[in-house]
Amino acid sequence: MAEIAVIHMDMMAKGGGEAVAMNVLEALEDDHEVTLITLTEPDIEELNDYFNTDVSAVSVRQAGFLAPWLHETYGLQYYVLQNALLSQYARRHADEFDLLVSTINELGLETNSIQYVHFPFDWTVSLDNREEIFHPTVEDDSVYERLCTAIAGVDREDIQANTLMANSRWTASVVEDAYGSRPLVVHPPVDTEEFDPDPWDRREDGFVTLGRIERSKRVVEMIEIVDGVRERGHDTHLHVIGPTVDEEYRREVEALASDREYVYLEGELPREELVDRVCSHRYGLHAKEFEHFGMAVAELAAGGAIPFVPNDGGQHAIVDDREELLYESPADAVEKMDRVLSNPDLQRDLRKRPEEIRRRFGRERFREEFRAAVDESLGRSTDATAETSPDLSEVPGRAD
């Protein structure tokens, strides 16, 4: 049994990254002593209910004082600095553990660590060249950039020596461009077990979107897309499901929904109700650009819905590069949806079998792959210790 630290910024954000973290905790807690290093005080019971997990034997440690205070006081306003401080704290306490595991992208950890990358910070390049949407609060402040980079302590050679995982082929390519090391692609754990899709002829002719209510999810654009589909003569509707992390943006969405009887702003639902919405509707809709993988999209597919997604990022893997489901703009989305909604034969061809989604993206598959990586890393650590330890077997007078 090893002492393992799992490092994650904010479990209560309840996004895809948090689903990964909860499944990592569950996968490891029976065989190891696991400590979660984080910036907040997570409600494990609430997270278990939300992600349908069973985490129970995990210790929780806040990463010092400054980073948790910044997070509580400013939210995401100093996101990159918070991440850098989390990295620094984990590195400073690395000797207390046999293995460090990051589920919040690449950190400045010791070389025998596991890092699951949703999308790289790419600390080795100018902040000006990083994905702007991933760092929404940084405005070309070179002093801030230099401070965060110095605190994070990410070394290119250390990154290359870590066990790197990425959530999609697309993300793996971005990581390789950034650090010269190709991660192993391990698709995130999609909770497929609860989905029992209704027969197609009993499903509602509407759309469901899943995900946090924030600007990068482009909920407003999805409402406009559904407006356009209805203008083409389709009597359809939209359910917006997910927790609010941006109150100002939610008010914008709420204003649009209040003027449209066919838009249901449902917010965060109990898991059972979320699953029911997906299984009882024919179509899914996602609008985040450069989505790193798209766990919500995989859940829509697991529930038997046909998901429409932007033509970029890691979502291609979920829809098998089907051009009918990949759109370039809201206008293009309307065109493609009009075609699919008007063609029952095409709908039949585009639907996925639940067992296929379970095999490719299911949670047990993820846990097995992660446990194997942990065992390999711990084995390397043991081997390295043996190589550097003196051979005391022939020391005079030594008795084992």
Give the chain's length: 400
Position 131, amino acid:
E
Tens digits of residue pLDDT in 234-277:
999 999 999 998 899 999 999 999 999 999 999 999 989 999 99
Distance CA 134, CA 139 (A): 12
- Beta carbons within 8 Å of 13's beta carbon, 6+ residues apart: 212, 245
Question: Residue 381: what pLDDT?
Answer: 63
Which pLDDT tens digit goes with each residue over 192-238?
888 999 999 999 999 999 999 999 999 999 999 999 999 999 999 99
Question: What are the tens digits of pLDDT across the range 337-372?
Answer: 999 999 999 999 999 888 888 888 999 999 999 999
Supply the mean pLDDT for the chain: 88
**174 to 11, 104, 154, 165, 180: CA distances (angstroms):** 25, 16, 17, 12, 10
Percent of the chain past pLDDT 70, that is, above it, reads: 90
Q: What is the pLDDT of residue 384?
A: 56
Nearest alpha-carbon partner for 205 in 306, 126, 290, 128: 306
Average pLDDT over residues 309-314: 88
Contact 347/205 with Cβ under 8 angstroms? no
pLDDT, average across residues 125-149: 56
Domains and CATH numbers, the chain: 3-189+362-379 (3.40.50.2000), 200-357 (3.40.50.2000)
DSSP label at residue 216: G
DSSP string for residues in 80-113: HHHHHHHHHHHHHTGGG-SEEEESSS--S--SS-
Single pTM value for the model:
0.78
Query: Model confidence at 391, in pLDDT bands (50, 70, 90)?
Result: low
Contacting residues for 290 by C-beta, under 8 A, at least 6 apart: 131, 133, 312, 313
What is the β-pairing status of strands 204-210 and 281-285? parallel
CA distance linking residue 329 with residue 268, whole number of Å = 27
pLDDT tens digits, 64-95:
999 999 999 998 788 889 999 999 999 999 99
